[in-house]
Structure 1
Amino acid sequence: MLRILIAVDGSELALDAVRHGLELMRRGGLQATLVLGHVQEEASFIELATQGADAVAEASVAAGRHLMASAVALVEAAGVPYETEIALGPVAATLVDMVENCGCDALFIGARGLGGLRGAWLGSVSQALVHQSPVPVTVVKHADPDDDNEGAGEDEDGGED
């Protein structure tokens, strides 16, 4: 069975990637285990010195679980097999390590869809992953709210299109 790492950081962009994975499984017949992966930035020297490494690590894991809660709820509601992974480090490099350590076949990540110069100026974890990942990367562009309003009212019974 395929294993797909989905980068999760508590944002709506990350939930877009989770929804995309679930949609592929529901409508596309994809059979996979989703690995919800979260990366916490490493603590600063001052944090380690004043709070201690164990306390900082414990707080990082707790924060990671909190930020993953919405994604976990979506996956559990869909009844899809999943695992969670929380790691510390630089985001893109740590996600690449997670892909390799978890034996994932693909990686999904949400993004704003900034392109051209604006995207290059801002830097991007998704861009770094496209270049560094040993597996295919699917960048799920965040839906523009204006796009959602274009089809409003077409399906009044709440059913699917």
Structure 2
Amino acid sequence: MPRILIAVDGSELALDAVRHAIGLVHAGLRADFVLANVQEPATLYELVVSRDPDRIAAASLEAGAHLMAGARALLDAAGLTYETEIGMGDPAHTLVDLIENTQSDMAIIGARGQGAISGALLGSVSQALAHSSPVPVTIVKHAEAPEVPEDEDGAE
């Protein structure tokens, strides 16, 4: 059975990726899932002030678990089983490491759908992952809500 890593960061974009995975299952795909979150490493200031690297690591793990809550709720509601992984470091490179460590066959990540120029200037994690990943990456573009036209008197 294929193993699919879903990158989650607590955003609605990440939940789009989870919903896409659930849709694949509803369409007949059988797969194992890994929810992956990447935490930024502690800054030098945080290390100096805290003087307790274990405490900082524990806080990062707690933050990662908190950011996965929405994704976990969606997968739980869909009745799907999954593993969770929290890494620390540069998001794209750490996700590649997590893909390799979990022996995932595919990755799914949400994106704003900014376009090539804007994405290149902003250093999109989804684009970096797509270029670095040893497995196929599905980038799920965020579906924007349609704008509601205003009435002529200015009320919606």
The two structures share one fold, judged by TM-score above 0.5: yes
Contact 1:6 1:37 in 2 (8 A): yes
- Alpha-carbon shift at residue 50 of structure 1 (Å): 1.6
Contact 1:6 1:36 in 2 (8 A): yes
> For the residues of structure 1 that align with 2:76 and 2:118, how far apart are their CA atoms?
36
Q: Does 1:42 align with 2:41?
A: yes
> Is the partner of 2:35 in helix, strand or coil?
strand
- Alpha-carbon shift at residue 121 of structure 1 (Å): 1.4
Report the equivalent of 1:156: none
> For the residues of structure 2 that align with 1:49 and 1:135, how far apart are their CA atoms?
38
Report the equivalent of 1:98: 98
Normalising by structure 1, we get a TM-score of 0.88
Kindly report which structure 2 residues correspond to 1:1-161, keeping only aligned pairs within 5 A, or say none.
Answer: 1-26=1-26, 28-51=27-50, 52-146=52-146
Amino acid at match of 1:115: G
> For the residues of structure 1 that align with 2:116 and 2:72, how far apart are their CA atoms?
33
> For the residues of structure 2 that align with 1:146 and 1:80, how far apart are their CA atoms?
30
Unaligned 5+ segments in structure 2 are: 149-156
> For the residues of structure 1 that align with 2:116 and 2:96, how far apart are their CA atoms?
24
The percentage of counterpart residues that share the same residue type is 60
> Is the partner of 1:48 in helix, strand or coil?
helix
4+ runs deviating over 2 angstroms? none
Report the equivalent of 1:159: none
Normalising by structure 2, we get a TM-score of 0.91
- For residues 1-53 of structure 1, the C-alpha deviation after alignment (integer angstroms, 9 at most, x for no partner) is 11000000000000000000001001x20001110000000001121122110
> For the residues of structure 1 that align with 2:118 and 2:81, how far apart are their CA atoms?
37
> For the residues of structure 2 that align with 1:120 and 1:46, how far apart are their CA atoms?
30
- Alpha-carbon shift at residue 132 of structure 1 (Å): 0.3
Q: Which has more helix, going by share of residues?
A: 1
Provide the alpha-carbon RMSD of the alignment: 1.1
Q: How many positions carry a matched residue from both structures?
A: 147
> Is the partner of 2:63 in helix, strand or coil?
helix
Unaligned 5+ segments in structure 1 are: 150-161
- Alpha-carbon shift at residue 116 of structure 1 (Å): 3.1
